């Protein structure tokens, strides 16, 4: 009966404790966790849950009432030997304290023990501690698992209670881990820099409205530390310069980057207006190729504005009509300037003006007239074309070349058709006919004139006119009358130009001035017959003895058989030379042994005989008049012949040994 009573009592104790535990909130967490029994049995762990150990065990203490025994549990298992109200938890887990009184026991609310390494709060900034205005620096708290609180400039940040914090304001940031715990840790401060964005203002250097093909300048206010990227609409178009040349319509803006901070910012936006431009077209109303003297017409399409015309890009001043008449070749275009001041340029039209062929006429005479019935006037025009000649406005059949022979007076003209098809007409030429004058010359033909003589030439004319004398085809200035005296060799004519302009030439007189050289007497040597005298001329001689003519002595050599002074003259036609110097001949008392070399015949042609009594064994040499040796031999006897067939015509000298002896002539 007692056993059953105790069991019942125990069950009742357990039931009562359980009910009280439920009623008292034994499983709730607070600063203190307790379990209370009906009989006043309680168990409370004094540390809150979780209890964190910062690098060391956690000492748990219990408040027990009404208990006779105390036990500690870890993770629901009793811990051997843990029977006091203090327990050092050196292992993490869920801890409870159990109060025991007789058959009753009460368990405290569980307390989680967390054992951590010592907390070292540190701030890291993975992307750096600086950012540009409008962005933030991401800060991260490291050093262990903890409850975190962020501070800026010493002020707690309401939104800074996690491991990461995005700092968008500059300042000194710190983070505190487990601020309310024993192991609380405060980081070193980290300075966050928020760079201001660059500010730039774009302005137009001039007007923001341009014509097509023009440009506008955009200016920026950037510093040396800033770099600019220029954008048209959404496309980047250039980098680097602090100004931009804009040509396209639309919006322009720039991205400015501070090269020191790396921060970028967009500029204001400018809008460029490009006025629309009209289209102007020039067309040729007539063929663009025409002959000189004709014209072509151009027209510009009808458009509004001020029209101007250009030739080879040069303004044709004062011409503003929509049509243009052109008389010369070139490149032509038009321009229209509208109300916005914009100018449209048309296409270029090439106009070609073909040159006319040359229809001017030239004549084979200085005066285009016919002089005498037998005269013919030849007229010429440019070559390489087609021709039509007219007489008295009538087409001349068969006259289709560039020249025309005119034999009758009248009016003549020519039509020239060039290779390009252009036609030119000459001015009419009036051809008159007059009787030809006649002029004769006395004497005429060949006239021999001795040197120093003067010949009188006389002109005879059939009419009045102006006379011109000519020598060798060259006009003799200053001689205008009918007489001309001359002593010069040449051809002579006289011409007359009468009052009608007709010109006639006389026959030609050919003046041949005969110059006769003065001969020289050469010692030909003394022979047995007499003294041989020679001259340096071949023919036309007359010999004199003591100034008296020797009848019949007309040869080039003369054998003097008398003592005296001999001379000679040359005679050509009727002209005589001056008398030669005298040559004195003395024949008496001559020793035959001292006679010079004997030469015969002298003059000679094909051969000459050489003879001297002392010739044998001597060296015989022959020289021409220039002193050049032409022949030599050593004589093997007192007489021999020399072949002179290869000698040139002229005078030669012969030597026997080193002594000059004689001359001889070679003639052909």
Which tokens is 151 given?
A: 């501070």
Residue 41 lies in a domain: yes
Question: Does the pLDDT value for residue 507 go beyond 60?
Answer: yes
pLDDT higher at 73 or 585: 73
pLDDT value at position 596?
Answer: 63
What's the whole-number mean pLDDT along residues 604-610? Answer: 89
For residues 239 and 263, state if they share a domain: yes
Confidence band for 39, pLDDT divided at 50, 70 and 90: low
Q: What is the pLDDT of residues 255-299, one digit of tens each?
A: 999 999 999 999 999 999 999 988 899 999 999 999 999 999 999
Q: What contacts 122, CB < 8 A, 6 or more positions away?
A: 141, 142, 143, 187, 188
Question: Does the pLDDT value for residue 340 go beyond 80?
Answer: yes
Residue 545 lies in a domain: no
Residue 548 lies in a domain: no
What's the whole-number mean pLDDT along residues 20-31? Answer: 35
For residues 107 and 141, state if they share a domain: no
Provide, rounded to the nearest whole percent, the portion of the chain with pLDDT above 70.
Answer: 91
pLDDT value at position 627?
Answer: 81
Residue 528 lies in a domain: no
Residue 334 lies in a domain: yes
Q: Are 350 and 367 a contacting pair, CB within 8 Å?
A: no
pLDDT value at position 228?
Answer: 94
For residues 159 and 242, state if they share a domain: no
Half-sphere exposure of 18 (CA within 13 A, CB side): 6
Between CA 368 and CA 410 the distance in angstroms is 11
Question: Does the pLDDT value for residue 167 go beyond 70?
Answer: yes
Tell me, what DSSP letter sits at residue 604?
A: B
Give the end of a domain, one of 354, 377, 399: 354
Between CA 309 and CA 282 the distance in angstroms is 10
Residue 582 lies in a domain: no
For residues 338 and 376, state if they share a domain: no
Q: What is the pLDDT of residues 196-234, one digit of tens each?
A: 999 999 999 999 999 998 999 999 988 888 999 999 999
| Residue 661 belongs to domain spanning | 596-668
For residues 382 and 366, state if they share a domain: yes
User: What are the angstrom distances between the C-alpha of 233 and each of 20, 299, 323, 385?
Assistant: 79, 41, 43, 67
Average model confidence (pLDDT) for the chain? Answer: 86
For residues 112 and 6, state if they share a domain: yes
pLDDT value at position 590?
Answer: 43
For residues 14 and 112, state if they share a domain: yes
Tell me, what DSSP letter sits at residue 489?
A: -
Q: What is the pLDDT of residues 519-530, one digit of tens each?
A: 888 877 776 678
pLDDT value at position 24?
Answer: 37
For residues 424 and 471, state if they share a domain: no
Nearest by Cα to 481 from 509, 459, 455: 459
Between CA 356 and CA 161 the distance in angstroms is 104
Give the end of a domain, one of 354, 380, 400: 354
In three-state secondary structure terms, 426 is coil
Between CA 92 and CA 89 the distance in angstroms is 7
Question: Does the pLDDT value for residue 5 go beyond 80?
Answer: no
For residues 177 and 97, state if they share a domain: no
E strand segments, 561-638: 564-572, 575-576, 583-585, 598-600, 607-611, 619-624, 629-634
Answer whether the bond into residue 202 is a cis peptide, omega within 30°: no
**Total domain count, the chain:** 7
pLDDT value at position 536?
Answer: 74
Read off the pTM: 0.43
Burial 631-660 (b: 16+ CB within 10 A, else e): beeebeeeeeebebeebeeebbbbbbeeee
Between CA 586 and CA 668 the distance in angstroms is 32
Residue 492 lies in a domain: yes
For residues 430 and 443, state if they share a domain: no
Residue 317 lies in a domain: yes
Half-sphere exposure of 89 (CA within 13 A, CB side): 30
Q: What is the pLDDT of residues 383-420, one digit of tens each?
A: 888 999 999 889 999 888 999 999 889 999 999 999 99
For residues 318 and 291, state if they share a domain: yes
The DSSP bridge pattern shows strands 394-395 and 403-406 to be unpaired
What's the whole-number mean pLDDT along residues 427-443? Answer: 90
Question: Does the pLDDT value for residue 120 go beyond 50?
Answer: yes
Give the end of a domain, one of 116, 151, 183: 116
For residues 338 and 379, state if they share a domain: no
What's the whole-number mean pLDDT along residues 60-86? Answer: 95
What's the whole-number mean pLDDT along residues 304-312? Answer: 93
In three-state secondary structure terms, 101 is strand
pLDDT value at position 8?
Answer: 36
Q: Are 299 and 322 a contacting pair, CB within 8 Å?
A: yes
Between CA 45 and CA 77 the distance in angstroms is 17
Task: List the CATH number of the domain containing 479.
Answer: 2.60.40.10
Question: Does the pLDDT value for residue 600 go beyond 90?
Answer: no
């Amino acid at each position: 009966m007692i056993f059953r009573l105790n069991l019942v009592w125990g069950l009742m104790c357990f039931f009562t404790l359980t009910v009280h535990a439920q009623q008292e909130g034994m499983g709730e967490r607070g600063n203190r966790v307790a379990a209370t029994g009906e009989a006043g049995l309680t168990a409370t762990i004094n540390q809150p849950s979780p209890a964190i150990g910062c690098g060391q065990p956690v000492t748990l203490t219990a408040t027990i009432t009404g208990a006779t025994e105390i036990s500690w549990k870890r993770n629901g298992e009793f811990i051997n030997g843990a029977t006091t109200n203090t327990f050092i938890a050196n292992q993490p887990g869920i801890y409870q304290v159990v109060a025991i009184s007789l058959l009753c026991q009460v368990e405290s609310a569980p307390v989680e023990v967390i054992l951590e390494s010592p907390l070292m709060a540190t701030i890291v900034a993975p992307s750096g501690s600086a950012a540009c205005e409008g962005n933030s620096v991401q800060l991260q708290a490291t050093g262990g698992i903890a409850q975190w609180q962020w501070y800026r400039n010493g002020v707690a940040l309401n939104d800074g209670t996690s491991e990461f914090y995005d700092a968008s304001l500059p300042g000194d940031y710190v983070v505190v881990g487990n601020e309310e715990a024993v192991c609380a840790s405060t980081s070193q401060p980290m300075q966050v820099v928020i760079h201001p964005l660059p500010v730039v203002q774009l302005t137009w250097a001039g007007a923001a409205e341009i014509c097509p093909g023009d440009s506008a300048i955009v200016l920026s206010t950037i510093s040396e530390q800033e770099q600019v990227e220029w954008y048209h609409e959404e496309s980047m178009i250039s980098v680097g310069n602090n100004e931009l040349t804009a040509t396209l319509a639309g919006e322009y803006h720039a991205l400015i980057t501070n090269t020191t901070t790396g921060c970028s910012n967009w500029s204001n936006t400018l809008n460029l207006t490009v006025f629309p431009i009209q289209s102007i077209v020039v067309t040729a109303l007539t063929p663009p190729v025409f002959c000189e003297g004709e014209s072509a017409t151009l027209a510009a399409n009808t458009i509004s504005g001020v029209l101007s015309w250009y030739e080879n890009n040069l303004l044709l001043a004062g011409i503003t009509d929509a049509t243009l008449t052109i008389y010369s070749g070139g490149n032509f275009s038009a321009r229209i300037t509208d109300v916005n001041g914009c100018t449209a340029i048309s296409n270029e039209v090439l106009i070609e003006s073909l040159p006319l062929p040359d229809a001017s006429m030239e004549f084979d005479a200085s005066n285009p007239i016919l002089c005498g019935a037998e005269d013919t006037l030849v007229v010429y025009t440019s070559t390489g074309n087609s021709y039509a000649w007219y007489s008295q406005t009538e087409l001349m059949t068969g006259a289709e070349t560039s020249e025309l022979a005119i034999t009758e007076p009248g009016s003549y003209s020519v039509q020239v058709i060039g290779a390009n098809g252009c036609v030119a007409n000459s001015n009419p030429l009036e051809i008159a006919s007059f009787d030809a004058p006649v002029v004769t010359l006395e004497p005429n033909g060949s006239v021999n004139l001795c040197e120093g003589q003067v010949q009188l030439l006389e002109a005879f004319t059939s009419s009045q006119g102006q006379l011109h004398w000519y020598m060798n085809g060259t006009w003799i200035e200053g001689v205008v009358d009918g007489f001309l005296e001359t002593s010069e060799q040449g051809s002579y004519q006289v011409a007359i130009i009468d009052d009608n302009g007709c010109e006639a030439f006389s026959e030609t007189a050919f003046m041949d001035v005969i110059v006769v050289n003065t001969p020289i007497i050469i010692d030909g040597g003394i022979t047995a017959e007499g003294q041989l005298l020679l001259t340096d001329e071949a023919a036309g001689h007359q010999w004199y003895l003591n100034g008296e003519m020797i009848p019949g002595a007309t040869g080039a050599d003369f054998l003097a058989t008398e003592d005296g002074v001999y001379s000679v003259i040359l005679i050509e036609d009727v002209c005589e030379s001056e008398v030669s110097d005298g040559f004195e001949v003395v024949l008496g008392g001559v020793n035959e042994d001292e006679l010079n070399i004997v030469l015969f015949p002298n003059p000679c042609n094909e051969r000459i005989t050489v003879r001297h009594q002392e010739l044998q064994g001597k060296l015989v040499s022959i020289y021409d008049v220039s002193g050049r040796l032409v022949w030599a031999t050593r004589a093997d006897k007192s007489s021999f012949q020399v072949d002179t067939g290869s000698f040139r015509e002229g005078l030669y000298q012969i030597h026997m040994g080193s002594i000059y002896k004689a001359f001889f002539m070679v003639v052909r």
